[in-house]
Amino acid sequence: MDKALEGVKILDLSRVQAGPSCTQLLGFLGADVIKVEDTGGGDRTRWEMAHNEHDSVYFTIFNNNKRAITLNLKDDRGRAMLADLVKWADIVLENYSKGVMERLGIGYEWLKSLKPDIIYASIKGFGNWGDWSEFKSFETAAQATGGLMSANGSPDGPPKGVSIGAGDSGTGLHMAIAVLAALRQRDKSGEGQMVEVSMQDGITNLMRISLIKPLSVGEVNTAWGRVPNVFRCAPGGDDDYVMIHTRGDLWITALAVMGKEAMFEDERYMTDELRGERADEVREIIEEWTMQRTKYEAFEALAAAGVWCGAVLTPVEVINNEHLKQREMIVTVKDDYRGDYRMIGSPVKMEKSPVTVTQAPRYSEHTDEILKSMLGVSEDELVELRSDGVII
């Protein structure tokens, strides 16, 4: 069965998370992704947080469903081979700091001269224009400058970041949408284009709920956090919590599940505002019930009645969760080199383009194969290129 993006060819010059998360998702959907790494060790996530002698999970978690080559782009021969690969590609994606592509001599104008309909996907911390565009960024800097850290902080404490990759992977998701839109437009116009997503822009887009009051009345949102929504469960350990949405009519539904029908007309808790003012009492009322049940028992009883809720799972519980395994979000990847490993699957489920997660490439694993089969490089030339440090 053909994949949704069968025939789409991507040169991935990115590293770490924002770019690789984008190209991995496109690879899941059938794109042919060639990851181009430098000859000085490649993507640093290969060794950062490594738990054994093989590539770190930090690398494999963002780089499945790709091939990998090495090229020294500071060498004329390395750039010449990249030029040949650009002519093959539909998309070139990078997340270098602003100006690096131009200093290497491989900027957008150079790419267009080689292939006029190329789609050039550029991820930057603060974009390619604007007052802050010269500044570098990373995950928590994007969270800070996009408003997320402030919105996540408590009124009596400092701003606080979140542990998910909102700045990096969130930007990668935005870029995947941009690339697909550019491909669709090229189908109609025959023209390529530059598409850009900045990490600050991506966070700002994800902050829409928290920007309602700033946009409407010029104030910071506060009401969302007043009504408690996380409650202790049995046996009372550090990770024994259930999240329960107790706003609106779901307050009544939750009370019914808990056998507290007598409180339906209690005027002290009739509105969200009143429940927010009596947050400690609301917590006590609900925990009288939840502390008699595990987080899974509380979740399943409430969810079955239509209450929006969820057992609060730890990351370890997530990767062992049976529902996620059934959904193929936790999969086993076959790998003869590293050994089979558990991995996160694709969140996108397509009836006619099912996803098989394939192993992340080893450093320079496909260099010889790609240079010989696609560029016509001979064995003798490979030896010379390797001896001169142009490839690994």
Catalytic positions are 168
Cβ–Cβ < 8 Å for 120, 179: no
Cross-sheet strand order for the sheet of 91-94? 67-70, 32-37, 9-12, 91-94, 119-124, 193-198
Distances (CA, A) of 166 to 71, 114, 118, 314, 370: 30, 34, 28, 18, 34
Burial of 148 (0-12, 13-18, 19+ CB in 10 A): buried
Crossing angle of helices 295-304 and 279-290, in 10° steps, is: 100
Burial of 221 (0-12, 13-18, 19+ CB in 10 A): middle
In the structure encoding, which two tokens stand for residue 151, read together? 């919105």
Task: Give the SS3 label for residue 244.
Answer: strand
Half-sphere exposure of 391 (CA within 13 A, CB side): 27
Spatial CB neighbours of 323, under 8 Å, sequence gap ≥ 6: none
Would you call the peptide bond into 116 cis, given omega within 30 degrees of 0 as the criterion? Answer: no
Cβ–Cβ < 8 Å for 20, 43: yes
Q: Which amino acid is at 45?
A: T
Cross-sheet strand order for the sheet of 230-232? 230-232, 241-244, 309-311
Pairing outcome for strands 193-198 and 119-124: parallel
Backbone angles phi, psi at 286, to 5 degrees: -75, -40
Backbone angles phi, psi at 261, to 5 degrees: -60, -25
DSSP E strands, the chain: 9-12, 32-37, 67-70, 91-94, 119-124, 193-198, 230-232, 241-244, 309-311, 330-333, 341-344
Burial of 93 (0-12, 13-18, 19+ CB in 10 A): buried
